[in-house]
Amino acid sequence: MRRLTRSCILAITALTALLLAPTVGATQIRRGMAVDSNVVVKIWNPSGSLKLVAWDRDSLHVEGTGPKWAAFFFGGGRNGAKFGIDEEKTKGELPKVALVVYVPRASRVSAKTVDATIEVEGVSGYYTTVSGDIRVTGALRELQVESLRGASEVEVRAPWVRIMGGEGDVTIRGAIEDLAAATVAGRLTADVTGAARARLETMTGALTSHVAVQANGSIELDSHAGTVELVLDPNARVDVDATSVAGKIDNQFDKRRPLPGRGGKGMSFAFATDPSGARVVVRTYKGTIIVRRGA
């Protein structure tokens, strides 16, 4: 009996130690305040993760965990708040902090990270990172995303979206009226409906555009050396003008043949399914242009 009791005590002690282990040396963040529904929020979380969630309350709430030496700052009033990790106090080392932030749906957030991932659900704003990945979903009023090295994935309903990527891939889906996106070496893929204006650019990354554009709208695709794939629905009403200075054009949409460029360099291809349809301009320096049918 005594042996059994001792075993039980040992087991309970071990279990308690195990349960407490992750929180030893960790700091818990839990802050909140009442704010206006259209509050402006600035967040700085260099490393770890940041999750932003829109909610239908007039308050701001932050939860998080990180190492004990991570210095968290938090301040502001009803119409503006600013919080994050105080880098000055961390002596150059970036603490990995996981933050989850709840903000009013009509708020406008500006969040910056170094390598922390950013995940956003339904919050309008400006999100920028050096090498973290960014994922944004939901219905927004406006969105601006920048990542030098990380991947960006955007699946939204929004009137205005701007995305700038470097080496990371950029994937865009949803219904967007005014869209501009660019990468340097990353692959850029857009599968978008309801566009009045779309401008997509890469330097060396491949570009695929399956953008359903409004009748009086326009699409501009541009790449220096990346392959540009223009995907058009069979019933698309478009006026297409494609030119590659030194690259090829491959028309898989119909049987028309693109023309060789001046002096045999490059190619050009122009056709219209509806001359008064949406204007589609494709330009590359040496990247191949492929025009094909979508589903």
What residues line the site for another protein (CB under 8 A)?
Answer: 40, 108, 112, 114-115, 126, 128, 130-131, 141-142, 144, 146, 148-149, 159-160, 162, 164, 166-167, 178, 180, 182, 184-185, 201, 203-204, 224-225, 243, 245-246, 263, 265, 283, 285-286
Shortest distance, position 40 Cβ to another protein, whole Å:
7
When the beta carbons of 255 and 262 are compared against another protein, the nearer one is: 262
Shortest distance, position 174 Cβ to another protein, whole Å:
17
When the beta carbons of 121 and 177 are compared against another protein, the nearer one is: 177
Shortest distance, position 85 Cβ to another protein, whole Å:
14
Shortest distance, position 16 Cβ to another protein, whole Å:
40
- Write a three-state SS string for the chain: CHHHHHHHHHHHHHHHHHHHHHHCCEEEEEEEEECCCCCEEEEECCEEEEEEEEECCCEEEEEEEEECCCCEEEEECCCEEEEEECHHHHCCCCCEEEEEEEEECCCEEEEEECCCEEEEECCEEEEEECCCCEEEEEECCCEEEEECCCCEEEEEEEEEEEEEECCCCEEEEEEEEEEEEECCCCCEEEEEEEEEEEEEEECCCCEEEEEEEEEEEEEEEEECCCCEEEEECCCCCEEEEEEECCCCEEECCCCCCCEECHHHCCEEEEEECCCCCEEEEEEECCCCEEEEECC
When the beta carbons of 33 and 114 are compared against another protein, the nearer one is: 114
When the beta carbons of 67 and 159 are compared against another protein, the nearer one is: 159
Shortest distance, position 96 Cβ to another protein, whole Å:
14
